[in-house]
Chain A
């Protein structure tokens, strides 16, 4: 049984079909990339899997269990952690508090009235920050962080409940090339050590071909190619979409 199974996923916005009939599977331990030009429907796919958007048609199964149309919090509870294309963090909290918040929720104590939140699950949160490499930023407020660091905070937050699946919508957007590779190495290591899976999108083809085990290509909402990097790179249609640029000659 696949960890994630997506069948015939479709979504239209007022008559405009953003995603049409997309199906794929994702296995534990696998790094799957979705690529496609701007507006192809990548984020829409992420949002339908993560629960932010309700699909018009199609099904999403996690370990064989149907999660189609569940709200984000329920999808999270099933073991899915995610990051957003536009990084979303709690700006009025420090980095470590952001992670503590996720841990509080995971331990079912997000609505506790009396304990001081600052003291709860702090060590666990620090360990996660250590893992994603921003322990030294722990006491800074998210609102003043560099964008690349916020992306790492998001990753730590997404990992807090020990998810089986990570959804990462453009995890390296806004980063310098060296930093991108560092982050994706980190993600790969986490995926390997935890035996989880990651679904990510990325505009930087170097990154995609270096870190994806398999690639899905979508264009105008439709899945047009799928396979291991070499095969996708050789695909005519894919080359046409990318005008032969970075696909043909990855560094």
Chain B
């Protein structure tokens, strides 16, 4: 490798770093002030690219030149900034005090909605933008050519950093932003108009995202996947840098940019994984990132979570009825309904396992797909490569997932709140990346096919009964654990970790155990899932699978035992009936999530429990009359 090549690679790393920084700066600023992890930041980035594409087309048609080009870029960024204001006014403002889960889901709902809006407006094809006038050529360094535009971009990142520094140190707005990042409640105490500050911060954050997306246009075409791709990378950068720290984001971007530039030479296969490994490594050493600090404890009174009630007679008879229905279902259901029922049961177990740690343990996992998917892949790989029979493969699925949950969980439970959610997401992405990139083992993008049940279970009806027995056993066990000392300990840690620790319960250890149990159950669901489908691909490990599980819990009600089951049923049925009817399913789903978060945060079962006290003796501690 000659020095010229290495130097160009170094420059490439710098350019990547510049982009990563610009794409992440807004995310970290918005988090610092509002404490919301804004998934929609990726949407802003994508909108920046698309809007710049349209504007540049028009402007350069009118007058070709640098002014038109840069005018389009900055106007696009400004428009996106205004969209950020819109988001703040319509959505964020209502959820600043909501639990993390609701915040994450609400902003993800916006991602879904924007994806469909973009597809409606610009179609699904890649749109290649114009090159920057005056920067179309190459410079020669050490006998190698390096694009001028990339060179310019190397300077753009530090320029933005400098501009932000000036903004934060030389303007009243900036000083307030810094103060709010240190202590949000202090700003309220200073008598600052907090609403205005937050709106301003969203403008700034969205503007930066839009700018980064627009600047990206001459390098890569605008496409409908760029939102999720960039948000995942931006998360990594912000988390490594320390959420809320702009300088930290800059350092992290440099680290990741160079890592990618040189990592691709050394480990061409695991570039995707590399960034997440670095992130995990950094978080293990510095749980709050390079320059981050622990979130100041909220001074607000702790929320009382849900309690557990003994079953009522009405509940018991309802359950008996449901069980009878499920047992008799094959008598009157056709093949298709049975297939649907199988799916519904599996997702019921999956969602239940998620809420086992989330609702009842206060651990918001944004990467639960990892354990479901690892169960599925574990089983599929054993069948595919080692020709194991179905029975052994299904039994191994929870083990594979459980081992992963044991390892990942040990690292995750050191953190709490949003950091924990981001780390669980990171681990899920690592697993996803491995499944995607390790083609020899996993079949890569295409996945593995021909994973069918043993012959005795090959009829739909038998597989249905198998699924019913296994999922009910899994759900039943988890259910029992909730009412046993184990579940009480989890809840104790959720309610007050300091009190739990002072009566001999190690909060971290308890969370770790619960996390592992949950992973085992999710993996069991995954094992059943793969044989019901006959094939598997990396999608099962991707973010949408995690979001599905979260949405099920949200739909049914976080603070209920049965909510996740009802939510799983509802979402599975909705998907089945509504998805074929619309081109814009994501918009439906996004709208649904937003409606739940904003209007019905207690979920279906929670609402029912309030209306029909006999149905759910839901003793959410806080509402019970004195």
Contact = CB atoms under 8 A, between A and B. Distances in A.
Interface stretch (B112-120, B169-177, B186-194, B489-497): B489-497
Contacts of B492: 90, 93, 101
B502 A72 contact: yes
Interface in B489-513: 489, 491-492, 494-496, 498-506, 510, 513
A120 interface: yes
A91 B485 contact: no
Contacts of B506: 71, 73
B488 A117 contact: yes
Contact of B503 (A76, A109, A115, A118): A76
Interface in A54-96: 71-73, 76-77, 81-82, 84, 88-94
Contact of A93 (B481, B483, B488, B513): B488
Interface string A88-114: 111111100100111011100111111
Interface centre among A90, A97, A102, A141 (most CB of B within 10 A): A90
Central interface residue in B304, B485, B492, B498, by most chain A CB within 10 Å: B485
Nearest to B307: A92
Contacts of B501: 51-52, 71-73, 76
Contact of B502 (A82, A92, A100, A116): A82
B306 interface: yes
Nearest to B503: A102
Contacts of B300: none
A9 B483 CA distance: 42
A105 B503 contact: yes
Contact of B496 (A82, A90, A110, A115): A90
A131 interface: no
A84 B496 CA distance: 12
A160 B503 contact: yes
A191 interface: no
B621 interface: yes
B482 to A, nearest CB: 9
A26 B232 CA distance: 56
B485 A118 contact: no
B484 interface: yes
A77 B501 CA distance: 11
A89 B504 contact: no
Contacts of A158: 502
Nearest to A97: B488
B155 interface: no
Given A73-B505, A92-B306, A143-B304, A84 B498 contact: yes
Looking at B304, B480, B622, which has the most chain A CB atoms within 10 Å of its CB?
A: B304
B292 interface: no
A76 B504 CA distance: 6
Most A CB atoms within 10 A — which of B491, B499, B620?
A: B499
Contacts of A120: 485
A141 B622 CA distance: 8
B304 A110 contact: no
Contacts of A141: 304, 307, 619, 621-622, 624
A232 interface: no
Contacts of A113: 480-481, 484-486
Contacts of A182: none
Interface string B98-130: 000000000000000000000000000000000
A21 B475 CA distance: 55
Interface string B445-488: 00000000000000000000000000000000000110111111
Given A73-B505, A76-B504, A77-B504, A110 B498 contact: no
Nearest to B494: A92
Interface residues of A, number: 45
Interface residues of B, number: 38
B581 interface: no
A48 to B, nearest CB: 14
A73 B485 contact: no
Given A73-B501, A143-B622, A91 B488 contact: no
B305 interface: yes
A116 B495 contact: no
A161 interface: yes
Interface in B299-358: 302, 304-308, 310
B504 A144 contact: no
A162 to B, nearest CB: 13
A122 B496 CA distance: 21
Contact of A114 (B480, B488, B502): B480
Contacts of A140: 624, 626
Contacts of B495: 89-93
Given A92-B491, A143-B622, A144-B626, A110 B310 contact: no
A92 B624 CA distance: 11
B333 to A, nearest CB: 34
B486 A112 contact: yes
A187 to B, nearest CB: 17
A105 B489 CA distance: 9
Contacts of A100: 488
A142 interface: yes
Contacts of A142: 621
A49 to B, nearest CB: 12
Contacts of A92: 304-308, 491, 494-495, 620-621
Interface in B25-56: none
Contact of A111 (B494, B510, B626): B510
B338 to A, nearest CB: 33
B460 to A, nearest CB: 34
A88 to B, nearest CB: 4
Contacts of B500: 90
A163 to B, nearest CB: 10
A29 interface: no
Contacts of B503: 73, 76, 101-102, 105-106, 157, 160-161
B489 A111 contact: yes
16 contacts: A52-B502, A73-B505, A73-B506, A88-B499, A91-B302, A93-B488, A97-B488, A100-B488, A110-B486, A111-B513, A113-B484, A140-B624, A141-B304, A141-B307, A143-B622, A160-B503
Given A82-B502, A93-B488, A106-B503, 8 more contacts: A52-B502, A73-B504, A77-B504, A89-B499, A100-B488, A105-B503, A143-B304, A161-B503
Interface of A: 50-52, 71-73, 76-77, 81-82, 84, 88-94, 97, 100-102, 104-106, 109-118, 120, 140-144, 157-158, 160-161
